Chains A and B, each alone.
Chain A
């Protein structure tokens, strides 16, 4: 990771709105387990890249793309191959 990268990327909280369009629940506090290294982290603490084309949320430990989500016109595309599990706490809506 370089200073330039740190200047350009955001944390996963910046993808909260886009993810809420898909899940309809607050996603930034959902705990993820990285399929690459097993590290557990809330979505808000993943590292967000790919700002304008979509959200690429990477593991802060190993850079695996844990969640990939994009909006194309009236569709959303969601790739969770990098997430071993998502843990959603609280009472289902």
Chain B
């Protein structure tokens, strides 16, 4: 595209070429980490926290906080995208890959429902939480995950809008029939791909 005689000053904010292609349509980048909660912040003591796999599995599994912390962990750096239009680049998390939790699990399920303290739920295709795409994160930027951001642990599924990355997660239920969750039953998109701008039902 010819820039003609239009000076740099008239072209608005300078774009960072490294970030081209990383910002989904309709989003803006922010250095902040806004807090959006659908209810009060739960404060489950760690000695009463556990994480469960249940539903259509060959046997339910449960980890205490101590057992969960002993599982192999991964540190990942990803961009995150909230449906309220902010995106945040290069956020670093530590947690347990969902692949690790599902290792050896026999299931015919196609979907999962993440369930949380406070009653929040969100639904995802099983294939969107496997093969290195999702984690149960308990550290953010090297610190224990703060309660307002979902601590002690939240689901992290960075390739979908961030309401899918359920805060205060306590387990995954594997289901063969999809079961829309808290926001998915209130008009939000069932899948939520930010690069397809799937914000609402019908998008």
Real binding pair: yes
Could you mark each residue 44-59 of chain A with 1 if its beta carbon is under 8 Å from any beta carbon of chain B, else 0?
0000011111101010
> How many interface residues does chain B have, given as a range?
20 to 34
Whether A56 pairs with B84 at a CB distance below 8 angstroms is no
Does the CB pair A52–B36 fall under 8 Å? Answer: yes
- Chain A residues closer than 8 Å to B173, beta-carbon distance: none
- Residues of chain A having any CB pair with chain B under 8 Å: 1-2, 4-5, 8-9, 49-54, 56, 58, 63, 65, 68-73, 75, 77, 79
With a cutoff of 8 Å between Cβ atoms, the chain B residues found around residue A75 in the complex are 187, 200
In the bound complex, residues from chain A placing their C-beta under 8 Å from that of B186 are 54, 68-70, 77, 79
Q: B29-43 CB contact bits vs A (8 Å, 1 = yes)? A: 000000111111101
Contact at A77–B39, with CB atoms within 8 Å? no
Instruction: Compute how far the CA of A69 lies from the CA of B38 in the bound complex, rounded to whole angstroms.
Output: 12
Residue from the set B35, B163, B187, B200 with the largest chain A CB neighbour count within 10 Å: B187
Which chain A residues lie closer than 8 Å to B37 at the CB level? 5, 8, 49-50
